[in-house]
């Protein structure tokens, strides 16, 4: 039961980050095409910053779960944020 709650939180964290990346790319990008905006961000070297901006929505999901007393789901969102941070770090330096 606890693993299921953590997994739900992890999934919500990944989805929130994906939505945040999409919104950040659309607001900060100069193109209407999401894939083209990601390619340009990668070519110009600020894809990691774009992913980090997308993680702001994880903050909202984390505090919503805490407010609802769903601590294990909040733990899953935190885990997703850590995984995204580590993958961004590895992507930048590899």
Within 8 A by CB and 6+ apart from 63, the residues are none
For residue 68, the enclosing domain spans 2-93
Provide the number of structural domains found in the chain: 1
* Cα 80 from Cα 9, distance rounded (Å): 8
Q: Do 64 and 12 meet the contact criterion of CB atoms below 8 Å apart? A: no
Q: In 3D, which of 78, 67, 65 has the Cα closest to residue 14?
A: 78
Cβ-count burial 72-83 (b if 16+ within 10 Å, e if not):
bbbbbbbebbee
Instruction: Tell me which residues of the chain have a pLDDT lower than 70.
Output: 31
pLDDT of residue 67: 95
pTM equals 0.87
- Integer-rounded Cα radius of gyration of the chain: 14
pLDDT of residue 33: 81
């Amino acid at each position: 039961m606890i693993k299921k709650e953590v997994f739900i939180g992890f999934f919500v964290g990944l989805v929130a980050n994906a939505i945040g990346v999409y919104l950040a790319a659309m607001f900060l990008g100069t193109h209407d095409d999401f894939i083209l905006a990601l390619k340009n961000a990668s070519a110009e070297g600020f894809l990691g910053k774009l992913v980090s901006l997308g993680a702001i929505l994880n903050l909202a999901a984390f505090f919503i779960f805490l407010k609802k007393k769903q601590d294990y789901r909040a733990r899953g969102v935190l885990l997703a944020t850590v995984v995204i941070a580590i993958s961004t770090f590895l992507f930048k330096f590899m």
